[in-house]
A and B are shown apart, each in its own frame.
Chain A
Amino acid sequence: MNVQFVLFVALSAIAVVAASGMLLSSSAIYSALFLVINFLVVAIFYLLLGAPFIAMVQVTVYAGAIMVLFLFVIMILGAEKTRQPTHAQRWQQPLSLLLGLVLLVLAGYVIMTHGLGDLPRVLENPTSYGSPAAIGRVLFQSYLLPFELTSLLLLVAMVGAVVLTGVAERRRRRPRPSRRL
Chain B
Amino acid sequence: MIPTTYYLALSAILFAIGVLGVLVRRNAIIIFMSIEMMLNAANLAFVAFAREFGSLDGQIIVFFVLTVAAAEVAVGLALIVAIFRSKASIDVDEVSQLRG
Contact = CB atoms under 8 A, between A and B. Distances in A.
Interface of A: 1, 4-5, 8, 12, 15-16, 19-20, 22-23, 28, 31-32, 35, 38-39, 42, 45-46, 48-51, 53-54, 57-58, 61-62, 65-66, 69-70, 73-74, 76-77, 79, 82, 84-85, 87-88, 92-93, 96-97, 99-101, 103-104, 107-108, 111-112, 115-116, 119-122, 125, 129-130, 134-135, 138-139, 142-143, 146, 150, 153-154, 156-158, 160-162, 164-165, 167-168, 172
Contacts of A79: 27, 29, 84, 90
A94 B17 CA distance: 14
A74 B77 CA distance: 10
Contacts, number: 227
Nearest to A96: B23
A28 B90 CA distance: 12
A85 to B, nearest CB: 5
DSSP class of A's interface residues: helix, strand, loop or mixed? helix
A138 B50 CA distance: 13
Interface of B: 1-2, 4-10, 12-21, 23-27, 29-30, 32-34, 36-37, 40, 43-44, 47-54, 56-57, 59-60, 62-64, 66-75, 77-82, 84-86, 89-91, 93-94
Nearest to A65: B70
Contact of A19 (B18, B81, B84): B18
